[in-house]
Amino acid sequence: MSDAKTAVQSEIIPRLYMKLLPVQIAFVIIGGINAVIDNAFAGNLIGASAMAVTGLFSPVTNLLNGVNALIFGGAQVLCGRYLGKKMAERTRSIFSLDMIIMLIVSIILLVCCEMIPTDIAVALRASDALKGDLATYIRGFAIGLPFSCIGTQFTAFLQLEHQEKRSYAAIITMFVANVLFNWLFVAVFHMGLFGLGLSTSLGNVFFFAIQASYFFGKKAVIRFSLESIVLSDIKDILIYGLPGAVVQFCISARGLIINALIQRFVGPDGLAAYSAIYSFGCVYWAVPAGVTSAVMVLGSVYAGEEDKAGLKILMRTFLTRGVGLVTVAAVIVSACCYVLTNMFFHDPSTEVYQMAMIGFILYPLYSPLSTLTIGFSNYYHCLSYEHIVRTISVADGILGVSLFSVLLVPQFGMMGIWAGQLLGCAFCVVLVLVIAFISNKAKPLNLDRMMLFNKDFGVAEENRIDITVRSMDEVVNLSERVWAFCEKHGITGSRKNYSALCTEELAGNIVQHGFRNKKKLSVDIRISYVNDEIVICFKDDGIPFNPEEASRLFEAERSGEHEDGKTFHNIGLQLVSRISKSMTYQNTFGLNILTIVV
C-alpha cells in the first residue's frame, strides 16, 4: 500500500496531533499569562515607564525559558523512553535529577537577583532613569523563581502522566492569584514595581503547589527518589535538551539587541509599546509554539520507528491543520488591535498608543512564517539532522530578525521593528527551502522533497503494507491480506499462518477492548518484511493497553468469562506471545504501540 493511500486512510496521527495541541499550548502560555497581567496593571496603574521596565526584563524571561528547555527538553525524551520500557526506577532517576538541577539553578538565580539587581539592570541595558525601577521589579519577581522553574517542569511531567487537567487547574489558579495580588499590592497598597513582581511570585507559588501535590500521591508513576539518581544522566539530559535551549538563548540575545535599538532610536514610549506587544505575544505565541511542539512530540516516535508514511502524515497535518490554526489566530489578533491596545493604554492621542496599535496589527502576521520554520526545524531534529537544526535555530532565533532590525530601525523607528520581524521570518523560510534544495539537488516543489529522508531510512514500500481498521467487520479481512503479503516474500507454512493469526487476533482485541466507550477510533497496522522476518506493529489511541492486564483479560476470555457476560473465543495474548519471536509494548503520549516479530 502506498504512502499516499496510507495518508488517506490513517486517522490516528491527525487525531493525536490535535489532542496534543492544548497541552503544548498550555505549557508555553504559563509565562505569558503573568506578563500580560503585569503589563496591564503597570500600564493602567503605574504608567508607561513601568511598561518600559517590564519590556527591558523580557530577555530574562527568555533566558529562563532557555534553561527550562535545556533541562526538561532532555529529561522528557529520556523519561518517555524509560516509561515505554516500563523502567520505573530509571524514570524516577531522571525526574529526581531534573528536580535537583532546577532547584539549584533557581536558587542561584534567586540569590543573584536579590544580591545584585542593579548590576542585572545595567546588563539589561537599562538607562539611568529606568535602572532603579528595573532593580526593584527584579527583587519582587525573583522571590518566586524556584516555584516558577520547578512548577514549569511539573507541567511537562504531568503530560507524561496524562494529568493535563491538574496543570490546567494550576494555570487558572495562578492567573486568578496574580490578578488579585496585583490589585492588592499595586492598586490598594501602592507597592509599585516591587508589588508587581511580588504578585507574579505568589501566583507561581500556587501554580507550583497544585501540581506538586500529585507527585506525592499513590497514583504517580514518576516519583522523587534521591537514592535512584544517576549523575551520569546529566550528560544525556543536556545533549537532548540543547537544540531547544539554543533557540531560547538566541531569542534572549535578540531581545537585548532590539531593546538597545529601541532605546537609542525611539525612546521610552517605544519600549513601553514593545513591552505591551511582547507581553501579549507571550500568550499568543503559545499557539504557534504548541503547533510546532506537537511535531517534536509525535515526530520523535515515528522517526524512532523509521516510519516514512507516519512522518509524512504528521507533516501534512502540521501544514494544513497546524499552520492553518496559526493563520486564523493571526487574523483574529490583528482584527482585535483596538481592544488589545486599550488593555494597556487609553489615550489615542499619545504616541505610545499609536505605536502599540500598529504593533498589534503587524506583529501577528509573521507568526505563520515562523511556525513553518520552527515546525520543519523540529522535524529535522527528530531525524537527528543537528547541523541543519543549528543553522535554522541561529537564523530564526537571532540572525534574521536582528539583522533586518539593525538595518531598518535607525531610519523607520518602531516600524523598522515590525518590518524586521516580518522580513527576518521570511528569510528563515527561504533558508529552509534552500537547505532542502541543496540536500535534494532539486527544487523543493512538494512535501516529499522537504522530508529529506536518507536512502536507507525506513522500510521500502514494496516490503510493507499499511492497514487501518475501524471495526470488527474490517478485522475479518486481515488474514487474506497478510497471507498474500507473506507469500509475496516467500514466507509460507506455519510462519504465514502465525502472522495472519497474530494480526487478526490482536487487532480484534484492540477494537473490542481498546475502543470501549469511545467513538471514531481506529487501529493503524503496519506489516513489514525485515531481515527475513515479519514485523507487525499496531498503533491506536484508545484505552491504554497494559500487557500484564491484557494477559489476564485474554486468559479470562479463553475460559469463556468476561465482565459483560459475553463469551469470546480468542487465542489470547499468551498464545500470541508463544508463537511470536518477540512482543514489545509502549505507551507514548497516549499512543499505544505494540510490535510483534514472527
What's 75-111 look like in SS3? Answer: HHHHHHHHHHCCCHHHHHHHHHHHHHHHHHHHHHHHH
Cell of residue 540, nine digits: 491506536
Residue 395 has pLDDT above 60, yes or no: yes
Question: What is the Cα–Cα distance from 589 to 19, expressed in whole angstroms?
Answer: 10
Q: pLDDT at position 81, please?
A: 58
Q: Rounded to whole angstroms, how far apart are CA atoms 342 and 90? A: 51
pLDDT surpasses 80 at 579? no
Would you call 267 helix, strand, or coil by DSSP?
A: coil
Contact call for residues 177 and 118 (beta carbons, < 8 A): no
Question: How far is residue 562 from each of residues 442, 504, 515, 519, 556, measured CA to CA in Å?
Answer: 59, 20, 16, 22, 7
Please check the confidence at residue 565 and state whether its pLDDT lies above 80: no
- In angstroms, rounded to a whole number, what is the distance separating the alpha carbons of residues 190 and 181? 12
pLDDT band with cut points at 50, 70 and 90 for residue 239: confident
Residue 11 burial class via C-beta count within 10 angstroms: exposed 0-12, middle 13-18, buried 19 and up: middle
Confidence of residue 588 (pLDDT cuts 50, 70, 90): low
Q: Is 585 helix (H, G, I), strand (E, B) or coil?
A: strand
Count of Cβ atoms closer than 10 Å to residue 389 Cβ: 23
Which of the residue ranges 75-89, 313-327, 459-473 would you say has the lowest mean pLDDT?
75-89
C-alpha cell at 269: 514610549
Q: Which residues pair with 535 in a beta bridge?
A: 528, 597
Mean per-residue pLDDT of the chain: 82
- Given a cut of 60, whether residue 569 has pLDDT beyond it is no
Question: What is the chain's alpha carbon radius of gyration, rounded to the nearest angstrom?
Answer: 27
- For residue 457, pLDDT beyond 70: yes
Q: How far apart are CA 342 and CA 429, in angstroms?
A: 33
Q: How far apart are CA 242 and CA 269, in angstroms?
A: 36
Tens-place pLDDT, residues 526-557: 888 888 888 888 888 777 765 545 555 445 54
The residues near 289 (Cβ < 8 Å, ≥ 6 apart) are 24, 25, 28, 374
Residue 358 CA to residue 422 CA, distance in Å, equals: 14
Of 116-125, 279-288, 321-330, 554-563, the least confident:
554-563
What band does 87 get if pLDDT is binned at 50, 70 and 90?
low
Dist CA 448 CA 379 (whole Å): 13
- Span 335-354, mean pLDDT? 90
DSSP 402-461: HHHHHHHHHHHTHHHHHHHHHHHHHHHHHHHHHHHHHHHTS---SHHHHH---TTSS--G
Q: What is the mean pLDDT of residues 215-220?
A: 78
What's the pLDDT at 550? 53
Residue 158 is predicted with a pLDDT of 82
Dist. CA 360–CA 381, nearest whole Å = 32
φ, ψ of residue 596 to 5 degrees: the values are -120, 135
> Which carries the bigger pLDDT value, residue 315 or residue 441?
315
* pLDDT grade for 104, boundaries at 50, 70 and 90: very high
Residue of 317, 334, 389, 301 whose CA lies nearest to 587: 301
State the cell numbers at 280: 501579549
Mean pLDDT confidence for 417-442? 91
Which residues 6+ apart lie within 8 Å of 113 measured at CB?
120, 138, 139, 141, 142, 145
Q: How far apart are CA 299 and CA 80, in angstroms?
A: 13
Does the pLDDT at position 322 exceed 80?
Answer: yes
- Give the dihedral sign, CA 81/100/153/256: negative
Average pLDDT over residues 182-190: 92
Give dist(CA 329, CA 165) in Å, integer.
24
Q: Do 378 and 289 touch, CB atoms closer than 8 A?
A: no
Distance CA 311, CA 305 (A): 10
Total residues belonging to the chain: 598
CA distances from 544 to 60, 161, 162, 470 (A): 40, 12, 11, 17
pLDDT over 90 (residue 235)? no
- AA letter at 197: G
More confident residue, 497 or 23: 497
* For residues 147-158, average pLDDT: 85
Least confident of 190-204, 436-450, 539-553, 577-591: 539-553
Question: Which range among 175-179, 382-386, 574-578, 583-587 has the greatest average pLDDT?
Answer: 175-179
**Model confidence band, residue 176 (pLDDT cutoffs 50, 70, 90):** very high
Non-local CB neighbours of 417 within 8 Å, separated by 6+ positions:
258, 261, 262, 270, 274, 359, 405, 408, 409
Give the C-alpha distances (Å, rounded to integers) separating 306 from 16, 430, 464: 19, 27, 13
Helix 323-335 / helix 367-382 crossing angle, nearest 10 deg:
160
Portion of the chain with pLDDT greater than 70, in percent: 87
> Comparing 77-86, 270-279, 381-390, 558-567, which segment has the lowest mean pLDDT?
558-567
Helices 12-41/58-84 angle, 10° precision = 150
Q: How far apart are CA 299 and CA 318, in angstroms?
A: 11
Residues of the chain with CATH 3.30.565.10: 463-597
C-alpha triplet 134, 140, 144: angle, nearest 5°? 130
Q: Does domain 463-597 have CATH number 3.30.565.10?
A: yes
